[in-house]
């Protein structure tokens, strides 16, 4: 079993990365393999809705998305972590999410997942909901009650 922690902060070594590392350390104590992926320094463009992935099975944009998506698909679950920027998730995590929506099949079926949201002021509720909607839409199993699995 393997769980990924994906940090959507544009800055390496910040609070979001520290909290994600702490979460992964707790998961490792249960004997589960983990991996941290930080999107800082990666290039992941937003989906441009061209539809190529629906016909060819691959996105036409040449960037770091395919590698991250492959790891997400192979893992048994993942954490999406983001600081709050201007009341919402960072562009880095938002771009990753937008590209995942268009992928063929259901690569995230029967995986567990959850968000980590780090905020100084406001916007954490919206950002948390933003990431939770992603998990619900892609039909990830609810880690609290796997019987609440969403079917779309």
Domain that holds residue 59: 2-148
Question: CATH number, domain at 33?
Answer: 3.40.50.360
Q: What are the b/e assignments for 20-41, b being 16+ CB within 10 Å?
A: bbebbeebeeeeeebeebbbbe
Name the 3-class secondary structure at 4.
Answer: strand
What pLDDT score does 152 carry? 32
Question: Are the C-beta atoms of residues 68 and 93 closer than 8 Å to each other?
Answer: no
What pLDDT score does 121 carry? 84
What pLDDT score does 135 carry? 87
Number of domain units in the chain: 1
pLDDT tens, position by position, 87-109? 999 999 999 999 987 666 678 87
What pLDDT score does 104 carry? 61
Spans of the chain below 70 pLDDT = 102-105, 139-152
> How far is Cα 65 from Cα 44, in angstroms, rounded to an integer?
5
What pLDDT score does 39 carry? 98
């Amino acid at each position: 079993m393997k769980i990924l922690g994906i940090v959507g902060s544009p800055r390496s070594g910040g609070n979001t990365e520290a909290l994600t590392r702490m979460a992964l350390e707790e998961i490792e104590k249960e004997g589960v393999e983990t991996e941290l992926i930080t999107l800082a320094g990666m290039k992941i463009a937003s989906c441009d809705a061209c539809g190529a992935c629906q016909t060819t099975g691959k996105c036409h944009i040449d960037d770091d998305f395919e590698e991250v998506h492959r790891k997400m698909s192979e893992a048994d679950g993942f954490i999406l972590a983001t600081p709050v920027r201007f009341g919402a998730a960072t562009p880095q995590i938002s771009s990753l999410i937008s590209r995942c929506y268009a992928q063929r099949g259901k690569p995230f079926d029967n995986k567990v997942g959850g968000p980590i949201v780090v905020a100084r002021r406001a916007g954490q509720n919206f950002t948390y909901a933003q990431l939770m909607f992603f998990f619900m839409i892609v039909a990830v199993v609810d880690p609290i009650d796997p019987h609440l699995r969403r079917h779309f």
